[in-house]
Amino acid sequence: MAASKSRGKTVQYGEQKISRGEGGETHQTAGGDVPTLTTQQGVPVADDQNSLKVGERGPTALEDFHFREKIFHFDHERIPERVVHARGFGAHGYFEAYESLSDITRADIFQRAGEKTPAFVRFSTVAGNKGSADLARDVRGFAVKLYTKEGNWDIVGNNIPVFFIQDAIKFPDLIHAAKQEPDRGFPQAQTAHDNFWDFISLTPESINMALWIMSDRTIPRSLRFMEGFGVHSFRLVNAKGKSTYVKFHWKPKQGMQSVVWNEALKINGADPDFHRRDMWDAIKSGDYPEWELGLQLFDDSFADRFDFDILDPTKIIPEEEVPVRIVGRLVLDRCVDNFFAETEQVAFCTQNIVPGVDFTNDPLLQGRNFSYLDTQLKRLGSPNFTHLPVNAPKCPFHHFQQDGHMAFHNPAGRANYEPNSWGGKEGGPRENPERGFTSYPAPEAGDKRRVRSETFADHYSQARQFYISQTDVEQAHIVSAFVFELSKVETPAIRARMVSHLLNVDKDLAKAVAEGLRLDEMPKPAPAAKPTKTDLKESPALSILRNPPESFRGRKVGALVTDGADAALLGALKKALEKEGATLKIVAPHIGGVKASDGTWIKADEKIDGGPSVVFDAVAVLTDQAGAAKLAKHPVARDFITDAFAHLKFIAYAPAAKDLLEGEGVDTAEGAGVIALAKKPDADRFVTACRDLRCWARNP
């Protein structure tokens, strides 16, 4: 049937009705109105299933412009992935200031208490490619773009407050060493290989960071449960031109939490998208991730008397010496609409600061300021990447920059330069000395030299401070991590060289690692530019386990259930978890679910094969006698139980499941973190216990 071309009419195409209007064509189908498929030029497409051919079995015609356009775009839809931080997850939200900070900064974002500023945050792993797994032992990127009223401000940070190197000229070497070895192209998303540890063992300034990356900080349970840091010292400048040094901290409202190493390996196999899925599910369910922004503020007097150089990015300022002042909160409340357009194309640059914020002479920061802009041009293909919605300011912006690839907008009017003689709109924007960004006038002088300041020369003292600040459990994890990583190093000399550095950090640490590697002999301590300070006090803020969350909120319990599960106990457990702000997920032998003891049908969230205990924060085993007997013959169900116990998770169980647990070696004695649900109040007792996250009492 011929179709009318007139606008505003509805015409019939077979069983479909098509309406034409100013907004384009829509189909009226059984499922409702849907837009008509078109080419990029807006031409309606009649058949998207078959290319244009000469005869039913003949060659494809060159004139098939729809096929050509579709394949052309597909062939070019990939852009270069980030050299580092390639695997990421982004989300939208807002920053809310708690108070005015006008006394220390003119930054507009800090002028009015209660004001909300739009934000976009991207979390990432560093070393792995886009297709790598989420639970690699790695630093996590924590990059925040704040769309302020005076321009975009990017705080491009990590979940660790120090870095491997002191000067940006070493960054290519660091990343080359950490990435896949170039001759073989592996290992992926791992530092457990010769090149990385060869570089670290020859670069003493990296030893502090090496302690951090071997700690539990690099295997977080969730992106929601980790801290963020700006790493460098910056300046805040007030309206009178007074400067205050600042370090930026993001403190998670739900507390910090990590996994154990064996658990990380199994999560990567069970769900390589574990961190992404966790963030997506939390935001979609309304359990919005939240951090508080903290500032460490200090002046030149403190900088002069501090034991270390505040420009050294391999050092921290302990919170006990300069307390963190909480000044606002960051809330993520919206997932992206399109991963590529937003998460993949978002461009962060450390140089993106606003009036009231300024740089210091940290040499790593200075190099990052130079490098990031260049990186975005290479990756996004045009100097106009700021035209992309996720990168564009949300405040008014006016400039004379024009043309280039994919320019979505260009300056209007006659003038594309300044100064110019044209007035009004034709003349375009003018600089504003009062509101415009002004660099802090720090006096600088000195000879041009390739040199490293002597104030950067202490490479071991803060590494020691970090290690002694950990609990016994965390120290044991650091030892195990070093032994694991160095055991993958094929060159014995590199292993021994790393132990020689650890001798300058802590002799017991070095001895434990040497024994784990079974070195033939203990090496001599590595030459040190400065002796290790042994009088630095412990800093409890550096420990995860010394700073536990206040509740079990935001966590998940996996309940392994069978037919005959006690409906009352299951209901009590669900109610107790909801009261805590936690979630109950049902794991069953079949995805269809189970029939509970009262005859009700319980829908499963996961089939046992796809819902192992490693993806939950705590578990429950709720069966009747017959169900327990069946699970005892199910290898995956037995793994569910043994892994949960081995990973020190709290375990609740119905009395009928006691023999099943004990048969798998689970200690059901009081104090082992295994709690019987004999009656409804036991559910509350279990949830209260879960606030400790793990039962370290049964740690081997």
Exposed/middle/buried for residue 135 (C-beta within 10 Å: 0-12, 13-18, 19+)? buried
Q: Which of 174, 273, 157, 257 is nearest to 217 (CA)?
A: 257
What are the C-alpha distances in Å from 132 to residues 187, 369, 378? 11, 28, 22
Does 275 participate in catalysis according to the annotation? no
Choose the catalytic residue: 66, 152, 158, 504.
158
Does 85 participate in catalysis according to the annotation? yes
- Give the integer Cα–Cα distance in Å for 319 and 90: 29
Name the helix (H) or strand (E) containing 481: helix 472-487
DSSP labels for 111-155? Answer: SSTT-EEEEEEEEEESSS-TTS-TT-S--EEEEEEEEETTEEEEE
β-pairing verdict for 234-237 and 357-358: antiparallel
Task: Let me know: does 165 contact 364? Beta carbons within 8 Å.
Answer: yes
Question: Secondary structure of 47-116 in the HEC alphabet?
Answer: CCCCCCECCCCCCECCCCHHHHHHHHHHHCCCCCCCCCCCCEEEEEEEEEECCCCCCCCCCHHHCCCCCE
Pure H helices in 543-593? 567-580
Residues 6+ apart with CB under 8 A from 451: none
CA angle, 431 then 432 then 436, to 5° = 105
Token output for 87: 């695997």
Radius of gyration of the chain (CA): 29
β-pairing verdict for 651-653 and 618-622: parallel
Backbone angles phi, psi at 560, to 5 degrees: -85, 115
Token output for 444: 């600088």
What 3-state DSSP class applies to 294?
A: strand
Q: Which of 291, 249, 272 is nearest to 188 (CA)?
A: 272
Tokens 């699970």 sit on residue: 631
- Give the integer Cα–Cα distance in Å for 407 and 384: 6
Question: Which amino acid belongs to residue 395?
Answer: C
CA angle, 101 then 107 then 112, to 5° = 50
Question: Which amino acid belongs to residue 409?
Answer: H
- Of the CA atoms within 13 Å of residue 128, those in its CB half-sphere come to 21
Q: Which of 60, 64, 59, 61 is nearest to 46 (CA)?
A: 64
Token output for 362: 């940290």
Length of the chain in residues, anyone?
A: 700
What are the C-alpha distances in Å from 267 to residues 264, 272, 408? 5, 7, 43
Exposed/middle/buried for residue 356 (C-beta within 10 Å: 0-12, 13-18, 19+)? buried
Question: Which amino acid belongs to residue 462?
Answer: Q
Choose the catalytic residue: 66, 85, 232, 477.
85
| Bridge partners, residue 92, by sequence | 120, 334
Tally Cβ neighbours within 10 Å of residue 396: 7
Task: Let me know: does 440 contact 243? Beta carbons within 8 Å.
Answer: yes
- Give the integer Cα–Cα distance in Å for 172 and 178: 10
Residues taking part in catalysis:
85, 158
